[in-house]
Amino acid sequence: MTEIRMVRVAVCGAHMSGLPLNSQLTSIGGRLVAKTTTSPSYRFYKLAGFIPPRPGLLRTGRGGTIELEVWEVPVTEYGAFVAAIPAPLGIGTIELADGSLVQGFLCEAYATENAEDITHFGGWRGFLLASSGS
């Protein structure tokens, strides 16, 4: 029996468990392997113009820790998944709280110039909770 090779990818917004785009991971055989945070080197922004709403993670060297999930997806599906990511989002290397590195969603800096900085919420779920008035 051939073992399926997997690629780890960190998600910090609409692809997280229970959120609107999570099915893009589960439909390709993705599985959640960890819930963690980034190192404290990131700023987090609510991006304009996305439906459903999406955040942008930007490494700045100083900022805060941001909640994320690490998923494994089959290497055979990874390319198509990445190719479908709309600009200004993309995949890059993210440093996790434990110092390890994983591929994950990042944002191009230009998109954050007029975006709302939501770093202080500690993640997308924290922002959504605060936005809902709960």
Q: What is the pLDDT along the chain (134 residues), one digit of tens a residue?
A: 677 899 999 999 999 999 999 999 999 999 999 999 999 999 999 999 888 899 999 999 889 999 999 999 999 999 999 999 999 999 999 999 999 999 999 999 999 998 999 999 999 999 999 998 65
**Would you tell me which CATH number, out of the four given (3.10.490.10, 3.30.40.230, 3.10.20.30, 3.30.420.40), belongs to the domain 6-123?**
3.10.490.10
The structural domains of the chain, with segments of one domain joined by +, span: 6-123
Closest CA to 54 of 95, 5, 94, 105: 105
